[in-house]
Structure 1
Amino acid sequence: MARFALFGDTSRRIAEADSVAVIGLGRFGSALALELMASGTEVLGIDRDDELVQAHNGQLTQVVRADSTKEEALRQLAVDEFDRVVVAIGADVQASILTASILLGMKIPVIWAKAVTEQHGKILEQLGVTHVIYPEKDMGRRVAHLVRGAAIDYLEIEPGYSLAKIAPPAEILGIPLGRTTLRQKHGITVTAFRPAEGEWQNADNETVLGEGSTVIIVGPTDRVEGFAQLR
């Protein structure tokens, strides 16, 4: 118990900073936690697998071996003092659901939870988790759009509405965007651009694109994919 008390003191200090608790350090949880650390966010990592905990030792602000289905263990680690918690447990659906239920009982303001199936996600939503994510499903859909189209990168903002990074077609090069009638003709909007030599900038009606530039477009998914095919 003294060991948990020590961890709890450290966890409370982390919770007071710009921090996130990540429960489950498998492939998804690990990638998420390490990316948060790289962006300057302090991370408390929790997993019941000792090998995973050891593997992340020194890579996260704090990493602890604990059973997240035990409310006492989470309270000992001061998880109830965090504003943001991610339940990244995937393989053990029951543990994911129990952990989410405990966190909801703790009144954590923001909870993100990974779902591995539609049924899993529906249960999490019924519990009251507002941010349910499907990493494998979402990545599969994203790659499918990239394979099918000509976009450099692609993101579905909502079903039927997307954002893509593409090389602009010849028809819009060398003239101000305001004179291209893109919205009327293609149903998309250019929101940002990067010249062949330069940094990303917001696009407006006066923006003139040159050879080698890259643009970000948004609009209905079918329109975005169609525009990405133009050359």
Structure 2
Amino acid sequence: MAEADSVAVIGLGRFGRSLALELMASGTEVLGIDADETIVQELNGQLTQVVRADATKDEVLRQLAVHQFDRVVVAVSSDLKASILCASLLLQLGVPVVWAKATDEQHGRILEQLGVHHVVYPESDMGRRVAHLVRGAAKDYLEIEAGYALVKAAAPTELHGVALGDTDLRQRRGVTIAAWRSAAGEWQYADNATVLHEGDTVVAVGPTRNVEAFAQLR
């Protein structure tokens, strides 16, 4: 999928605002839409264009030419009806790719049934990620999709001083070391010849249960 040059973000609450500003920082053209005049005024000048509008109305979306954007994100979630209606209208308008924020699994299932291309669960996803960090084992954690994850963790003692190709790590632990860095060095790709030492940090990928267990090793 090609990188998006233009994105419309509907709903500029904490999630939508953060997303829109990050997209702007990366050089993407961003149209922000929200029904709250105060929010629109706050973001005036920070986005390519920001407007106060009711995105649950077909004529409004057409006037704003939302269907001409590469991606549209429905960041409205507190109003379930508005989220679903907005997503439905966008799909009817033929928006190439629609992303939508869901508050829970039921909301997400409805969005998926409508045909939304990507449904995200920022609260629950962040909760899972932070839980791993709070436990103190992982330095960072990302669930790539259900059942598969990536973890940044300290290189465990069992890998010190041995070439990765001789550790049988994938067979024993069910994970693969994708990259590593020393305490004072830069990130490097890992291969069978890589030798890790105390103080090194690694990025491991694999089934969620396996990478969680790997992060607990010392």
Q: TM-score range by the shorter chain?
A: over 0.9
- Amino acid aligned to 2:139: I
Match of 2:101 in 1: 114
Structure 1 length-normalised TM: 0.88
**Quick check: 2:164–2:191 contact (8 Å CA) kept in 1?**
yes
Stretches of structure 1 that go unaligned for 5 or more consecutive residues are 1-16
Stretches of structure 2 that go unaligned for 5 or more consecutive residues are none
Q: For 1:141 and 1:226, locate their aligned partners in 2 and report how far apart those are by CA, in whole Å.
A: 15
* 78, 81, 101: which one aligns with 2:88: 101
Identify the range of structure 1 (105-114 vs 139-148) with the bigger mean alpha-carbon deviation. 139-148
Match of 2:55 in 1: 68
Q: Percent identity?
A: 72
Q: For 2:42 and 2:200, locate their aligned partners in 1 and report how far apart those are by CA, in whole Å.
A: 42
Deviation string, structure 1 residues 49-72 (Cα, Å, up to 9, x no partner) = 001101111111111111101111
Deviation string, structure 1 residues 173-210 (Cα, Å, up to 9, x no partner) = 22221111111221111001122222212111111223
How far the C-alpha of 1:144 sits from its partner, in A, is 2.2
1:23 aligns with 2:10: yes
> Equivalent residue of 1:166, what SS?
strand
Q: For 2:170 and 2:12, locate their aligned partners in 1 and report how far apart those are by CA, in whole Å.
A: 44
**Quick check: 1:196–1:211 contact (8 Å CA) kept in 2?**
no
1:197 aligns with 2:184: yes
Q: For 2:169 and 2:59, locate their aligned partners in 1 and report how far apart those are by CA, in whole Å.
A: 58
- Structure 1 residue runs of 4+, over 4 Å off? none
> Equivalent residue of 2:206, what SS?
strand
Distance 1:219 1:149, change over 3 A: farther
Structure 2 length-normalised TM: 0.93
1:45 aligns with 2:25: no
Alpha carbon RMSD of aligned pairs, Å?
1.4
> Equivalent residue of 2:184, what SS?
coil
> Equivalent residue of 2:183, what SS?
coil
1:80 aligns with 2:74: no
> Equivalent residue of 1:139, what SS?
helix
* 124, 131, 139: which one aligns with 1:144: 131
Q: For 1:105 and 1:200, locate their aligned partners in 2 and report how far apart those are by CA, in whole Å.
A: 45
Match of 1:174 in 2: 161
How many positions carry a matched residue from both structures?
215
